[in-house]
Chain A
Amino acid sequence: MNVLPAEEELMVKNAAREFLDAECPPGLARAMEQDERGYSVELWEQMASLGWFGISLPEAYGGGGLPVTYLGLILEECGRAIAPVPFHSTATAALAVVNNGSDEQKQTILPRVARGDLIMTWAVQEQDPRLRADAVQCRGEVDGDSLVINGIKHFVDNFSAAELVVMAVRTAEPTDESAGITLCIVPTNSAGITETRLTTLAKDSQSKIALENVRIPLSNVIGEISQGWPATSEMLDTGTALLCAQIIGAARKDAEMAIEYAKNRVAFGRPLAGFQSIQHLCADMIVAVDGAQLLTYEALWKLDAGLPYSVEVSQAKAFTNDKCQATVRSSQQIHGGIGFMMEFDLHLWYRRVTAWTMRLGTSFEHRARVARSLLAQPGRVRLGMNIEAVA
């Protein structure tokens, strides 16, 4: 038991911070809000050359073979720098291929991801945005050696930048044995896809995707037809843990900006930081982010250790949503009027953290899963015990 990051973990994290401090100023995120492509190609290529995209992919497929925790630490730093790159969606989709893809899928996809030659995303949510199998209504039908997809996917990150989307579709009605969901890989340039860009609070890239008779080969199915919900659920859990890392990185930076501002801004004859009301607000912000970070690290560690980690992911996301939102709001409070002026940078973090808290599961959804799993646990429960998630 030593919950502090190890020396090697800190080295990777610090190196990522140094690189991003130098290469990813807030102006880049600001510029990309207006950019048609929505991400910085130059930053993407630099990150690729540092090996970040493959860091936790298997060595056999060109990756670095490190635990997913390392990927989480880098994404935490990307969150801190609000780096405008489609990294999180690519990592989430690529790990779904690692965990459940065929060898052929791994061979064709993973080395390209590791090199930075392939941008990916994922699509599960629909008009009913809850992350559960019965909310997936987008239809897939087997036709010879093809899967034909009809329906609408909502809230898809980085769709226009991505080449492949890992998508959950319904191929059967649910039974006791199966949720009837198939997970598959869909090229974004497939005939029959219409993209509508959404305008988000984060002003990042999210789209609604209409699929009309989109035909993909059956070899693009991840795992078996209609048996894809566990793989989908695993993809969501991994993506959620990584999103938590990104949120806490951004929220901590946001809190630090408020602390710095409080030390310099003079009011009533002294710096704001000299007022106990401000000190206590700042203390609460940092304690909250610390808590979110510990929950997130535990989820990532359990994932890497091969232990059940879904409940830990839900714990982390519910707490991160509520506490990091409160943190960035408090930071706005400390900054006063200047904090909500367009020309000031603070809102770049506020708007992203806020939008991210609503993605990959609300606090209510995640707490419902925690309660469900906890109450179904046989015998007496105890904090810190391993608990199997209940779908």
Chain B
Amino acid sequence: MEFAFTPEQEALRVEVQQFIAENVTPEIVAELEDTGIRRRGPKTREMYKEIAERGWIGISWPKEYGGQAGSRIDQYIVEEEFARAGITVGGAGSGAPAILAAGTEEQKQEFLPGIIRGEISFALGFTEPQAGADLAGLQCRAVRDGDEYVINGQKMYTTAAHYATHIYLMARTDPDAPRHRGISIFLIPMDTPGITVRPLWTIQNDPPAPLGTTYGDNRTNETFFENVRVPASCLLGEENQGWYVGAMGLNLDRVGASRYLISIQRDEDIVNWVKDNDIEGYAMREDPALRDRLADMWIEGQVCRLMTMRSMSIVETDGNFTYEGSAEKVFAPEHGVRTTETIAQMLGPYGQLLNGSEDAIESGVFAHNLMGAFQSGINHGSVQVMRDQVARRGLGMPRV
């Protein structure tokens, strides 16, 4: 075992930190905080180009698709540093890992370099009104018609659908097959005729959550498909194998830098705040009860970090982390909730003040987190479903 990064990796981290210090100007921060422009203004776009030019996106991807055939740990380090500044450089959610694993040569050439350049991004089209945690119950239909598929149905919580270039869509291609064996995945341009996006406003809508809030997005979407015709080349992997292709991407989506930070940023924030601040002479840092809870949360935060490192270590050595990823996706989100609720009881009435309010602490991030932290126990596989997976895949227990 080895619990430290290499000197080269530490140097990479410092390099990224310096880049952020030099390039994330107040103007860019203003853009990142502006939910109206989806946290993407012209200056931010320019910066993304520079990030890509430095080779910091898709580090672990093969060179022929614009990556550097580098390590997943290097990629993790870059993603973590940017995520701490509120900047996502992960490379299009579940799309890219699944394309790498299951895509044709043409698809890899079509998508991966574009993702790296920031020209292509994906919305996730998985959940439906009647298929959430039980995703395999999805009903969105794709019917083969010559060289095309015709798609009809509705997707929920397609968060990036109003600005992504493509949707990574899970649809049913064989309604007669057993549920998991009649599903396929499609990569579809969002400007295809017949696709309609409608906003769904989250409880973070008003006032907007400050940057860094766990699930601070004010908007997600529902996306409708009405006789949407796409070429058969949009199919990712084999027809009716989509459940398994999707699982690869989802597994990778449940671990990593942004998942880690979602769960632990408030741990660091509260310690740093308590260290330097008191309220009219009331110094929380001297209260033994609060110190005990602070340490408790800090220790759990370390466990989140180590579980993330365990998943990354397994990925880096090409292992299967189905059980470990699920374990992490149980512990980390629930920790995020515990720490958020603990902080509320530390701050008392100050803990309820939202962004922009008189007397709000740290732009109300702790209050907004109370509306966001629990979302991480729901999104991308609920903690109940994750426990099922730990029990079944990790402990060999039967399907109920």
**A residues with CB within 8 A of B:** 1-6, 9, 69, 259, 262-263, 271, 273-276, 279-280, 282-284, 286-287, 290-291, 294-295, 297-298, 301-302, 305, 315, 318-319, 364, 366-368, 370-372, 374-375, 377, 380-384
Among the listed A1, A283, A370, A382, which residue makes an inter-chain contact with B391, where contact means beta carbons less than 8 Å apart? A283
B45 CB within 8 Å of chain A: no
Could you say which residues of chain B place their CB within 8 Å of the CB of A384? 302, 305
Could you say which residues of chain B place their CB within 8 Å of the CB of A274? 397-398, 400
B398 and A273 contact, CB distance less than 8 A:
yes
Q: How far is the CB of A253 from chain B (nearest CB, A)?
A: 14
B330 CB within 8 Å of chain A: yes
* CA distance in complex: A213, B76 (Å): 61
* CA distance in complex: A283, B301 (Å): 19
* CA distance in complex: A319, B394 (Å): 22
Give the 6 A-B CB pairs with smallest separation, nearest first. A279-B391, A367-B295, A294-B306, A283-B390, A371-B291, A370-B295
* CA distance in complex: A372, B316 (Å): 36
- Considering the complex, give the chain A residue whose CB is closest to the CB of B274: A375
Among the listed A275, A283, A364, which residue makes an inter-chain contact with B395, where contact means beta carbons less than 8 Å apart? A283
* CA distance in complex: A380, B17 (Å): 15
Could you say which residues of chain A place their CB within 8 Å of the CB of B387? 279-280, 283-284
Q: How far is the CB of A240 from chain B (nearest CB, A)?
A: 14
* CA distance in complex: A123, B317 (Å): 44
Could you say which residues of chain A place their CB within 8 Å of the CB of B400? 274-276, 279
* CA distance in complex: A347, B182 (Å): 49
Q: Which of B200-208, B307-315, B355-363 contacts A (4 or more CB under 8 A)?
A: B307-315
A298 and B295 contact, CB distance less than 8 A:
no
Known A4-B313, A279-B387, A283-B387; contact A271-B398, beta-carbon cutoff 8 A: yes
Known A290-B307, A381-B271; contact A297-B1, beta-carbon cutoff 8 A: yes
A262 and B397 contact, CB distance less than 8 A:
yes
Could you say which residues of chain A place their CB within 8 Å of the CB of B275? 375, 377, 381
Among the listed B3, B296, B313, B390, which residue makes an inter-chain contact with A318, where contact means beta carbons less than 8 Å apart? B296
A259 and B395 contact, CB distance less than 8 A:
yes
* CA distance in complex: A280, B334 (Å): 14
Among the listed B9, B292, B391, which residue makes an inter-chain contact with A282, where contact means beta carbons less than 8 Å apart? B391
Among the listed B295, B313, B330, B392, which residue makes an inter-chain contact with A371, where contact means beta carbons less than 8 Å apart? B295
B307 and A1 contact, CB distance less than 8 A:
no
Among the listed B264, B392, B394, B398, which residue makes an inter-chain contact with A383, where contact means beta carbons less than 8 Å apart? B264
Known A4-B310, A301-B2; contact A319-B303, beta-carbon cutoff 8 A: yes
* CA distance in complex: A287, B329 (Å): 10
Known A1-B9, A367-B299; contact A383-B267, beta-carbon cutoff 8 A: yes
Q: How far is the CB of B310 from chain A (nearest CB, A)?
A: 5
A276 and B388 contact, CB distance less than 8 A:
yes
A374 and B395 contact, CB distance less than 8 A:
no
A282 and B299 contact, CB distance less than 8 A:
no
Could you say which residues of chain B place their CB within 8 Å of the CB of A4? 1, 310, 313-314, 317
* CA distance in complex: A295, B1 (Å): 12
**B residues with CB within 8 A of A:** 1-6, 9, 73, 264, 267-268, 271-272, 274-275, 285, 288, 291-292, 294-296, 298-307, 309-310, 312-314, 316-317, 324, 327, 330-331, 384, 387-388, 390-392, 394-398, 400
* CA distance in complex: A295, B387 (Å): 22
Most buried by A among B5, B306, B327: B306
- Considering the complex, give the chain B residue whose CB is closest to the CB of A367: B295
Q: How far is the CB of B317 from chain A (nearest CB, A)?
A: 7
B3 and A383 contact, CB distance less than 8 A:
no
15 contacts between A and B (CB under 8 A): A2-B317, A4-B1, A4-B310, A273-B397, A274-B397, A279-B387, A279-B397, A280-B384, A286-B394, A291-B300, A291-B306, A370-B298, A371-B295, A374-B294, A383-B301
Interchain pairs with CB closer than 8 A, number: 166
- Considering the complex, give the chain B residue whose CB is closest to the CB of A307: B4
Could you say which residues of chain B place their CB within 8 Å of the CB of A3? 1-3, 306, 309-310, 313
- Considering the complex, give the chain B residue whose CB is closest to the CB of A299: B3
A1 and B298 contact, CB distance less than 8 A:
no
A291 and B331 contact, CB distance less than 8 A:
yes
Q: How far is the CB of A252 from chain B (nearest CB, A)?
A: 12
* CA distance in complex: A377, B275 (Å): 9
Could you say which residues of chain B place their CB within 8 Å of the CB of A302? 3
- Considering the complex, give the chain B residue whose CB is closest to the CB of A256: B395
- Considering the complex, give the chain B residue whose CB is closest to the CB of A279: B391
Q: How far is the CB of B263 from chain A (nearest CB, A)?
A: 10
B264 and A291 contact, CB distance less than 8 A:
no
* CA distance in complex: A2, B395 (Å): 24
Known A1-B4, A280-B384, A374-B295; contact A294-B391, beta-carbon cutoff 8 A: no
Q: How far is the CB of B262 from chain A (nearest CB, A)?
A: 13
B331 and A1 contact, CB distance less than 8 A:
no
B296 and A294 contact, CB distance less than 8 A:
no
Q: How far is the CB of B289 from chain A (nearest CB, A)?
A: 11
* CA distance in complex: A331, B65 (Å): 50
Q: How far is the CB of B236 from chain A (nearest CB, A)?
A: 31
- Considering the complex, give the chain B residue whose CB is closest to the CB of A370: B295
* CA distance in complex: A290, B314 (Å): 15
Could you say which residues of chain B place their CB within 8 Å of the CB of A367? 291-292, 295-296, 299
A383 and B298 contact, CB distance less than 8 A:
yes
Q: How far is the CB of A375 from chain B (nearest CB, A)?
A: 5
* CA distance in complex: A368, B292 (Å): 6
Could you say which residues of chain A place their CB within 8 Å of the CB of B310? 3-4, 290, 294
A374 and B271 contact, CB distance less than 8 A:
yes
Among the listed B268, B295, B313, B331, which residue makes an inter-chain contact with A2, where contact means beta carbons less than 8 Å apart? B313
* CA distance in complex: A46, B62 (Å): 52
* CA distance in complex: A87, B151 (Å): 67
Q: How far is the CB of A258 from chain B (nearest CB, A)?
A: 10
A370 and B388 contact, CB distance less than 8 A:
no
Most buried by A among B1, B9, B264, B330: B1
- Considering the complex, give the chain B residue whose CB is closest to the CB of A318: B299
**Given A283-B387, A371-B298, 15 new contacts (CB under 8 A):** A1-B6, A4-B310, A4-B313, A5-B1, A273-B397, A279-B392, A283-B395, A284-B330, A290-B324, A291-B307, A294-B307, A301-B1, A315-B298, A319-B299, A370-B298
